[in-house]
Amino acid sequence: AEQCRTTKARVVEYDFDEIASQSHADHLNWIDALQDCDVAVCTVHPPRDEFHASVFAGRCIQDGDLQTYLITKTGTIVPEYLREYYLPKGFSRVSIVAISDYTRRFLMDTYDIPQEKVTLIYQGIDLQRFNPNKDGKTVSSRRYPLPNQAEPVLGCIGSMETRKGHAYLLEALAALAADHLPNIYLLLVGDGPEEHQIRRMVKDLELENRVVFFPFTAEPELAFEQVDITVLPSVAKEGLPNVLQESLAMKVPVVASDLGGVSEVVLDGQTGLLVKPGDVAELASAIDTLWSNQVNCQKMGDDGHRLVESKFDRMSQFDKFRVHLQSYIGAKEQVPDSKDDNLLQQWNEAI
């Protein structure tokens, strides 16, 4: 809300617990807030009780007889989600923005949503921020201290949830350490509901001397400076994780589960290696294969950086979103382009 106020936008706040009841007063407040809007953008998140923002917004637009266009934006596919979260029933002025081609195709194939209703716009990465440099390496070595002999250093950055597959990574790590990578090390950055269980598993597998935990960070680029290979061992619910684009932007190759839109950024054998979700042996083998050929490992990191530059640059994706919004707003008001430094700063902070 504070970021929005800096743009002199009108901010209407509400209590989420209260609005879940979908009272008549909330209904009127939303109609009032939306009546002067050309476009309403709703991110598709899990519903709370029977309340879902895009469904409620669509209903308010209809009941208020407003000309507002609804844009729903989605990333991770959750099979339990209803079609109306993306395309509210009986509401025609809707466009969906998908952040991966996998998501776009899933929406069309599973929910029978017309192709013209779904537009692919990647999230994009700030390439000025995610760019390896000597100063970052110096700061990183202080923030994430590692033993001098640690190699390879694996990095797993993100929320600690069951679906993220940390257990499979720890088993693969134990196997590699016991075989022929005695100095292998794992950097775990993040927090979440499974952190206690993950710490217990580290102890049970006697990995305390080769796994280090660090809390969630708003500066993941510093963590990547210490990492040789990024690992995404997820077993469910992935759209197109930002961590993959961030890693490759930092020239760090990736070993990742072949889920969702992962293969759109991890090109198997080119920018990293893809593995079957939940397969410990395949995960360990991929890590070993990647590290055993240092020339190829570095090439994958370099190729990954070029891929992100050409396909996932945030400025180019920002302009695509601007053009998409402009097509619904029309000539009423010009939407600033990516050369507007202040607007780009707000975009980078908001995403």
The rounded distance, in Å, linking the Cα atoms of 278 and 264 is 20
Res. 332: pLDDT tops 50: no
User: Following CA atoms 297, 301, 306, 312 in sequence, which dihedral angle do they give, to the nearest 10 degrees?
Assistant: 130
For residue 130, tell me if it sits in a domain. Answer: no
Tokens of 139: 């700061």
Q: Are residues 42 and 157 in the same domain?
A: no
Q: Are residues 288 and 142 in the same domain?
A: yes
Res. 265: pLDDT tops 60: yes
Res. 348: pLDDT tops 80: no
Res. 173: pLDDT tops 90: yes
Q: Are residues 173 and 110 in the same domain?
A: no
| Averaged pLDDT of the chain | 91
For residue 82, tell me if it sits in a domain. Answer: yes
Contact residues for 131 (Cβ-Cβ < 8 A; gap 6+): 221, 249, 250
Res. 48: pLDDT tops 90: no
The rounded distance, in Å, linking the Cα atoms of 40 and 58 is 9
SS3 assignment, position 70: strand
Task: Write out pLDDT tens, residues 129-148.
Answer: 999 988 888 999 999 999 99
Among the three residues 74, 90, 120, which one is the final residue of a domain in this structure?
Answer: 120
Q: Are residues 143 and 251 in the same domain?
A: yes
Task: Average the pLDDT over 271-276 and give the result.
Answer: 99
Res. 337: pLDDT tops 80: no
For residue 186, tell me if it sits in a domain. Answer: yes
For residue 223, tell me if it sits in a domain. Answer: yes
From residue 186, give the alpha-carbon distance in Å to each of 41, 71, 117, 132, 238: 39, 40, 43, 20, 22
Q: Are residues 116 and 141 in the same domain?
A: no
Domain count across the chain: 2
Q: How many CA atoms lie within 13 A of 296 on its CB side?
A: 13
Exposure class string for 150-186: b at 16+ Cβ within 10 A, else e: bebbbbbbbebbeebbbbbbbbbbbbbbeeebeebbb
Domain containing 214 equals 136-311
Helix axes 195-204, 166-179, angle to 10 degrees: 20
**What counts of helices (H) and strands (E) characterise the chain?**
15, 10
pLDDT of residue 267: 98
Which of the residue ranges 21-35, 56-70, 222-236 would you say has the lowest mean pLDDT? 21-35
